[in-house]
Each structure stands twice: as structure tokens, then as C-alpha cells.
Structure 1
Amino acid sequence: MKLTTERFAVISDVHGNYQALRKALKIIRREKIDQIVFLGDAIGYGADPERCFNLLKKRCSLFLMGNHEAMIIAPEQRKSRLCEESFSWTRNSISGDMISQIALLPMKHTENGMGFYHACPQADLQSWKYLNDPKDVTDAFDGYENICFYGHTHRPRVMIISDDGSVEDHIVKHTSEYVIDTEKERVFVNPGSIGQQRDDITDMSFAICQYDGRKLQLRIERHKYNSLRAYLRIRFIGCGRENAKYLIREKWRKRIYEGIGNRLEWLYR
């Protein structure tokens, strides 16, 4: 991949959530951004894995392999119970052609002083570390690019490290902007998840960037989408009730969606 424009978007962890992906792409298009970097995990958990995979292949300039893609070609990878249920359903739902395409995906990309990774530079098909602790982040990217983008945790975060060693650690709960002078600062950007956040807010997130070779202007976007539709599709068409509940982060929203789902049960018996 070669970024042919200073402005680009970085998205990650779509996880078969077509409702969230479609909303994100609509916003990115409205921003007149042509180039999109996808950090991996198009599939898993959500009800539309192949639909999302194909749309991302069409729209993204760079498509990295995530751990859920790696599971398809290396299924012995360790998984949680929910992940195992999701993997089994997803593996049986996708085409042989899609599996062939997954095997060709790159795991990392570097360009113009920027690094793009799904989890971290050290990841392989069997090992994908979650960088949830600030020290884990700085250790993982020590000696790598001044600008590093990574996903996998499903939590939007921006860490800025100055030449004097001071650290700004921003956990992003709402749309926020940052300006980084990369001659004096390093930055590690997690755009969060399009399809399944793991903080306390269901709203999707992604990054919009402008980089001139020195200054990075960064905006982490957080937006609502039709999460009820996504929940119902997972519950009744996809991996089932427990995976659907995992999509929704707020307790009040989960109670409402569960109530709606319970009333619709009779339609699917």
C-alpha cells in the first residue's frame, strides 16, 4: 500500500457488524476521505462476516489480518467460550473463496514513519497480546515507528510520549482531537472498534488522520449506529443470545434489547 493522500481513516475490529460498518463508511465518505486502513478482524461475533469482509476488501487500501482471520487458517489458537461459539458459527458461514483470501492477508505494514498492526509488532498466528496496560503499550512499540496504529483491545486510546519522557494517556469516550509533532513526540493510536466495543459505551469508534510527514492531526470519532438491529441479527441469525448480549455495553441498553429480543422469540421458534 502507498498512501497517496495526507488524509486517511484507520478502522479496526468490525467483527461482522454490518450496521456499524455501513454507518462508519458513510461518515468517512462524507469527510471526503478516499483511503482507509483496516487493522483486522472483519469477522467473528457478528452476523454478517462475509458481507463485511467483501465490503472492506472493496473499500480499504490496506487490509491486515486480525486474530479472528488467523483462527480460520490456524484454528488451534486458544479461545474463550464465546469466541469458540463465534468461531464455529463463522467458519461454517463463510465461503471457500473467502478463506483463500484470508490466507493472503498481511499481518503488519510500515510506511512513511508509520506502523500499522492488529495487536502489536510481535504478533504471530498463535499469539495476539492485548495491550491494555500503558506499560504494555510502550514496551510493545519500543524501537518501532514514531506513529503506531493498533487495534485488538476494542478500546479507543491515544498515548503521546514526549522527548522528556512524559506520557499523556487518553482513554477516548467521545469524539476528540489531538495534534502530534512527530519530531518531538511519539504516538500510539488505538482507534477502538467499529463492531464490538469493550469499554462501557456501545458506540463505535475509528480514527481520521492528516499527516504531512511531521505533524499528525488526529481525530478519534465515536458514533451511534443501529445497535439494536445488530443485536437482533446476532441473536436470531448469528451466534446466539450470549454473543448478542456481549455487543451491548450499557446495562440499561442491554435490559431493553433483551426485553425486545425475548418478545420476538416466538417468531424464531
Structure 2
Amino acid sequence: MVKYAIFSDVHANLHALNRVLEDIEQQKVDRTVCLGDLVGYGAFPNQVVDKVRDTCDVVIAGNHDHAAVGIMDISAFNEYAHRAVIWTRDKLSAINTKWLQSRPLNVVENEIQFVHASPVEPRKWHYIFSKDDAQRAMEHAEAGTVFVGHTHVPFDYMTRLGRLINVGSVGQPRDGNPEAAYTLFDTATGERRLIHIAYDVHAAKDAIILEGLPPFLAERLVMGR
């Protein structure tokens, strides 16, 4: 039996991450997993990377991590994401850049697969929005239970091939709830709990503005969209 805390899409939001890690500390979990996108959009890339590296047992690479460390082409990124990536590249320390470059795309343990976007071609960052998407994705799964992030919208789909769970977003939720989200999972019972944690959204918003990042990236934190 293993009790997991699993989170994703921190996006350099240190205020949200701190609150989530404080809550995880109270949950007495066995393993803590981050599904990637530590950086991008937010104002504290190095602080977030440092904290995740120090507290997580497993850390998966996300597309914004690959973008920030020069592994992937960013020509298809929207204006806001593109500007944030360029800013983040300039801010990341050499140590953190190298560490992000070394993160795996996929980890399987305890009959669970952890991946940022989808078990289908993890490096291509496919989106899963619906149960039909989940069904197709599970055809490529390496375990009966798969955890993802990427869309910033939590879900829990049971398909004929297994279970696919999106853990939500710590640092930039897009489900209409501005609170930070993460997931608890118990391998013994299969129980999944989606946890929402209030944090100082306005402090995170102000930090984005102070760093000269696009104001939209600050405003959407308040909207949770």
C-alpha cells in the first residue's frame, strides 16, 4: 500500500506551491510526485525548481520545462507563453536548467504510470479533454492507472482499459476555481481525493506584474481560467 500526493503545472507560482506542500505535509503520504511544468507563466522559476527538487520523490518533465531549457521549439506557443518562456530562460540558473533537462518524460511504479500530458507519445504533449480522448490514450498506457496534468483541468475517467486521472494545476488552474489543486491517491483502496487549497492569489498576481510578464498571466490567476 502506497499513499501518493501528486501535483502538476506549478508554473513558477511559489505562493501556490508553498500552500500545497504545507498541506501535503499534513497528509502523511509515502510518495510525492510532480507531473511537470514547474516553470513558465509565473515569477519564481528558480525558487519553485529548488523546492520541488527538495521535496518530491518523482519529477516528470512538462512541455514548458522543455521549452524553458531549450529542448523544444516554441514557435507554436501563444504570445503569452512565448514571452514567459523567453523570460524564464534568462532567469533559470545553470544548475536548475541542467536538472530540468534531465527529468524523465515517463515513470512507471507500483502499477501506476506518471506522465505530464498523455501516455500517447509523451514528447508530443497531446491533450486529453474528454472520456473519448482518455479511452484512446489508455490504448497506449503502460499501467492500469495513469496520472496526467497538462490541461490544468482535473478529471477522473474510468475506461474499459483502465483509469486515467488528471490531478489539476497548482499554479494556474483553468477549471474556474482559482485555488491551487492537487490529488491524493491510495493504492490499497483506489481512492482519489482532489484537494483545493486557498493561497494568496493577489501576491502571486502582483509578482507577475512586477517582473514585467504579460498582465493576462496575472489576471487569469484570479479567474481560475
Could you tell me the TM-score, scaled by structure 2's length? 0.93
- The higher-RCO structure (CA 8 Å, 6+ apart) is 2
In structure 2, what is the equivalent of residue 153 of structure 1? 151
Matched, 1:69 2:43: no
Aligned residues: 222
Matched, 1:223 2:197: yes
79 and 26 in structure 1: CA distance in 2 versus 1, 3 angstrom threshold: same
- Once residues 7 and 124 of structure 1 are traced to their aligned partners in structure 2, the CA distance between those partners, rounded to angstroms, is 25
Matched, 1:206 2:182: yes
Matched, 1:57 2:53: yes
- Once residues 208 and 234 of structure 1 are traced to their aligned partners in structure 2, the CA distance between those partners, rounded to angstroms, is 29
- Once residues 180 and 57 of structure 2 are traced to their aligned partners in structure 1, the CA distance between those partners, rounded to angstroms, is 21
134 and 242 in structure 1: CA distance in 2 versus 1, 3 angstrom threshold: same
Per-residue displacement from partner, 1:91-141 (whole Å, max 9, x unpaired)? 11111121111111100011121110000123454x211111221121012
Unaligned 5+ residue runs, structure 2? none
SS at match of 1:9: strand
- Once residues 104 and 117 of structure 1 are traced to their aligned partners in structure 2, the CA distance between those partners, rounded to angstroms, is 15
SS at match of 1:198: coil
In structure 1, what is the equivalent of residue 27 of structure 2? 31
- Once residues 113 and 53 of structure 1 are traced to their aligned partners in structure 2, the CA distance between those partners, rounded to angstroms, is 27
- Once residues 39 and 151 of structure 1 are traced to their aligned partners in structure 2, the CA distance between those partners, rounded to angstroms, is 6
135 and 249 in structure 1: CA distance in 2 versus 1, 3 angstrom threshold: same
- Once residues 124 and 117 of structure 1 are traced to their aligned partners in structure 2, the CA distance between those partners, rounded to angstroms, is 7
Matched, 1:194 2:194: no
- Once residues 238 and 210 of structure 1 are traced to their aligned partners in structure 2, the CA distance between those partners, rounded to angstroms, is 41
Give the Å deviation of 1:151: 0.5
Give the Å deviation of 1:34: 4.3
- Once residues 95 and 123 of structure 1 are traced to their aligned partners in structure 2, the CA distance between those partners, rounded to angstroms, is 29
Give the Å deviation of 1:238: 5.1
Unaligned 5+ residue runs, structure 1? 166-184, 252-269
Per-residue displacement from partner, 1:213-251 (whole Å, max 9, x unpaired)? xx3121111121111111111111251312211222269
- Once residues 92 and 69 of structure 1 are traced to their aligned partners in structure 2, the CA distance between those partners, rounded to angstroms, is 13
Q: Identity over aligned residues, as a percent?
A: 27
What does residue range 1-269 of structure 1 map to in structure 2 within 5 Å? 6-71=2-67, 72-77=69-74, 78-125=76-123, 127-144=124-141, 145-161=143-159, 165=160, 186-212=162-188, 215-237=189-211, 239-249=213-223
Whether the 8 Å CA contact 1:47–1:238 is kept in 2: the answer is no
- Once residues 18 and 238 of structure 1 are traced to their aligned partners in structure 2, the CA distance between those partners, rounded to angstroms, is 17
SS at match of 2:223: coil
101 and 189 in structure 1: CA distance in 2 versus 1, 3 angstrom threshold: same
